[in-house]
Structure 1
């Protein structure tokens, strides 16, 4: 008989020695633990168990293979060292909070350290293995996913997004990223935590005449030229003697604009030498597919301390300076000038407040006497506009008239000046009926002739104020009347027919073409002050510029033969006045007689008999 009774046979499907089902069922927790451990070890997903201090307790084979080592070798290693986390890392705090059970998840992308040195980018995820609400340190599960392929694709896409397709240089987006980083992260002195005051420089370059290349040779040739220019700029940027062993950051900002960023500038001279080298490099002829092209460039140069400099501020300065380089003649570099920029900013401020200033009553007129050279009698006055600016104080016409001409507000301002001057001249005449009737001379911009019905305005103002047309003189610059034809010529002729006198201001500084004097309705020539200044004597009593006297004498004789009178501007000394009188100049104007003064002072001159003796106001001369 068998030693095993039938009543004690194992259940069908079991072998002798197998654990009875009842035993297995009696230890379900142990069985589940075995299953979990088996799954952990054989999982294709890299995992590790980490204790509260961040040390690896267990690691599976997948993670070990990813790190190029064995699973047992990973045990006891700090996770931070494996994935490159350091206390100064922005993710460090989140990592520690997960280990302490105060955060439910931590995820980051890191470059994993592999034993053989091959690059491997991984997505790291850490979750607490205990209930996070408990708040007590426990263990955490670390999972690591290899995302090297995805990271490489992202890098390629980023490179395409951040680089120019034509020149392969960094584009505008990447340039501003680099610029922002350079301004935010100043270099450090040794191990000190205090940043040293670093400096930054920028050469902002624009090709001169690039549009002509595109228009005449086509965009393909233009693209080849841009690529060749980019190569030249990169070569120059890599050969800066101030920066051996490295290259400055070169970018194409768009169109034909390039930037060379000097992140650790050693001073203005480095930037100027670099700008010289860049200009020289660009100006060398290009041989593009059998076409030989020559171009030039304009460069705006800015160099300043990083502290207090923003990317926007630096680029605004560079853009302004590039504009100066082009305005100064192109094919050159121009260094940022704070004083010139302040003048530009002031000009912008004036431009924005100029139009409403007339309504606010911020303008006033002063009057400078025009004196007969032979007898010293005041013949007339020139009206000179002043702007009582609430921020910048009293401004002379040289500060704002050109702005008014550019934006068109000169038409409205000129109308106000003309009406005010005519009204004042009429007031003097009414208040001093026994005194000489002074004519008033008013400057007229060429835009007033083109953009308004000047003839109608003058007629209306004369009728309104009651001033005789013969007591109004309109001054236009020589360049404004040169080549006058059509509407301007008809306007000048109509004004002359009305009885208004026409004067050419600053005569001798423009085209100096005397032919137009015979066909224009001109009554007066006003000689530019540069001729009169040449009438001074030096300390030895010698005339420093005898040619000026010869020229003035010839002009006066010519004007008189044409029936014109001559006024000399900028008369400042008795000697000048005497020589001008001997030459035959009719009237003089300048600080020898009087500065521009308020209307009340002119009234005093009229009461005094209208005489301004030479030297009587010389204390006001410079």
Structure 2
């Protein structure tokens, strides 16, 4: 009996060892494939430059210094989507050659990740010289970049500089310092150079999220969830609000409160807008295959003030619609807390342009007054979204609500009551003339894969709402 137990224990150990060896082999194979995909003629790979730096650290005498320059191309993901993988690699090869020409022959340069480069400069070069090289690279990349067919594009970079041993006594510590500096450069809008300093270290959690977000975009970890908007009068699904979620590999599904501020700071929020528009156009096509009531379905998506300050938002969204042959009238662009920032002229102009493209515009009814309503008519606003509590709390004196509902009725606009959680709330608000509802009573935000089942259950349930 004892021998049997010992044999089982030994077998369990062997299986465990085999499992971890297999995992290590798989990881090494994947790493090798990843490394191969990053190869550019004439420059080092990530593992090559890591070896150079770690070896140099072990050999140099105490007091010896050296420097690293890190280059992270701004919004390169947009170019990859526009030009494709093959042309993107050609662009990167062109950039690598241009950077290399600016550097001394003893400098080592590597493509470190997809659109990022690392440069190693040994102790021959002073901090001043290294900073000058960083600025040369920054200014060079501000020049036009040629792509296939002779087209020229604007491309900029964020550049970070750190010094050994002042900013780290190991490769890992130095890379951490560079990541912090790059994050700060991105946060300030990119197209700039940042030298690491200890003062930057206070935001390490945000910096870690920045790099996770960057990789999440590359790995398609972001997803839209859909919450239904219900036409209570006509007993049908009017549309859905698309809500951004992050399928984090270790933390699970994260809401925007965990990452949206960082995306706003680094500019990734503009990618969210373009990707979001394309995603909901594709969703609208797929919904038509589920049920006939989706033939003219509306899908809304939220816009932030940062997005609305972009001078190219209207043209970017128009290109996305044209590319996928979508109908902009069925896309509702939601503007939260409109009354708090509608006096920003750039935002107002962009809303006018988006309306002219054909998009429907929805605004949050919070704090809207008579003056704001007059401004709304200029952007051809289509919808006001109001929280259930705002409606019911104003029911007694009725002045604010009456003003808003009269404006809506007179001008052929729509009101959506948000946050409804019970049937009695729905009936109470419906008596005031509100027809559209959104809230947990009708459905929670859900991934697209669940919409078929939701539609079937809705059709069974909705007939009993009266």
Q: What TM-score, normalized by structure 1, do the two folds share?
A: 0.38
1:370 to 205, 226, 229: 229
Quickly say closer, same or farther: Cα 1:518–1:434, change in 2 above 3 A: closer
Give 1:207-218 correspondences, 5 Å limit. Answer: none
Query: Residues 372-425 of structure 1, C-alpha deviation per residue, up to 9 Å, x if partnerless?
Result: 132331111000110112233211122222222222211112222221122111
1:573, 1:433 → 2: CA distance?
A: 27
Q: Residue 556 of structure 1 corresponds to which residue in structure 2?
A: 405
Give 1:8-87 correspondences, 5 Å limit. Answer: none
Structure 1 residue 345, shift from structure 2 partner: 6.7
Q: Residue 391 of structure 1 corresponds to which residue in structure 2?
A: 250
Quickly say closer, same or farther: Cα 1:476–1:499, change in 2 above 3 A: same
1:410 aligns to 2:269 (yes or no): yes
Quickly say closer, same or farther: Cα 1:596–1:615, change in 2 above 3 A: farther
Q: Residue 171 of structure 1 corresponds to which residue in structure 2?
A: none
1:397, 1:479 → 2: CA distance?
A: 22
Contact 1:362 1:389 in 2 (8 A): yes
1:354, 1:452 → 2: CA distance?
A: 24
1:445 to 286, 296, 304: 304
Q: Residue 163 of structure 1 corresponds to which residue in structure 2?
A: none
Structure 1 residue 515, shift from structure 2 partner: 3.0
Q: Residue 602 of structure 1 corresponds to which residue in structure 2?
A: 451
Contact 1:567 1:587 in 2 (8 A): yes
Structure 1 residue 432, shift from structure 2 partner: 4.3
Give 1:499-578 correspondences, 5 Å limit. Answer: 499-505=358-364, 507-509=365-367, 513-532=372-391, 534=392, 546-547=395-396, 551-578=400-427
Structure 1 residue 531, shift from structure 2 partner: 1.2
Structure 1 residue 503, shift from structure 2 partner: 0.6
Query: Residues 263-315 of structure 1, C-alpha deviation per residue, up to 9 Å, x if partnerless?
Result: xxxxxxxxxxxxxxxxxxxxxxxxxxxxxxxxxxxxxxxxxxxxxxxxxxxxx
1:456 aligns to 2:315 (yes or no): yes
1:490 aligns to 2:349 (yes or no): yes
Query: Residues 489-532 of structure 1, C-alpha deviation per residue, up to 9 Å, x if partnerless?
Result: 33322322232101103x21477833322322211111135415
Structure 1 spans left out of the alignment, 5+ residues? 1-343, 536-544, 617-622
Structure 1 residue 360, shift from structure 2 partner: 1.7
Quickly say closer, same or farther: Cα 1:463–1:373, change in 2 above 3 A: same
Contact 1:593 1:613 in 2 (8 A): no
Q: Residue 281 of structure 2 corresponds to which residue in structure 1?
A: 422
Structure 1 residue 484, shift from structure 2 partner: 4.2
Structure 2 counterpart SS, 1:519: helix
Q: Residue 123 of structure 2 corresponds to which residue in structure 1?
A: none
Query: Residues 84-116 of structure 1, C-alpha deviation per residue, up to 9 Å, x if partnerless?
Result: xxxxxxxxxxxxxxxxxxxxxxxxxxxxxxxxx
Structure 1 residue 548, shift from structure 2 partner: 7.5
Structure 2 counterpart SS, 1:358: helix
Q: What TM-score, normalized by structure 2, do the two folds share?
A: 0.50
Structure 1 counterpart SS, 2:281: helix
1:433, 1:510 → 2: CA distance?
A: 36
- State which structure, 1 or 2, has the greater radius of gyration over its C-alpha atoms: 1
Query: Residues 444-486 of structure 1, C-alpha deviation per residue, up to 9 Å, x if partnerless?
Result: 122222235122222222122222122111111214651142x
2:330, 2:454 → 1: CA distance?
A: 18
The aligned length equals: 262
Structure 1 residue 431, shift from structure 2 partner: 5.4
Contact 2:223 2:246 in 1 (8 A): yes
RMSD: 3.0
1:524, 1:609 → 2: CA distance?
A: 24
Of structures 1 and 2, the one scoring higher in RCO (CA 8 A, sep 6+) is 2
Quickly say closer, same or farther: Cα 1:427–1:473, change in 2 above 3 A: same
1:379 to 222, 228, 238: 238
Contact 1:470 1:500 in 2 (8 A): yes
Contact 1:496 1:521 in 2 (8 A): yes
Q: Residue 143 of structure 1 corresponds to which residue in structure 2?
A: none
Give 1:110-189 correspondences, 5 Å limit. Answer: none
Q: Residue 472 of structure 1 corresponds to which residue in structure 2?
A: 331
1:518, 1:345 → 2: CA distance?
A: 45
Q: Residue 589 of structure 1 corresponds to which residue in structure 2?
A: 438
Contact 1:369 1:381 in 2 (8 A): yes
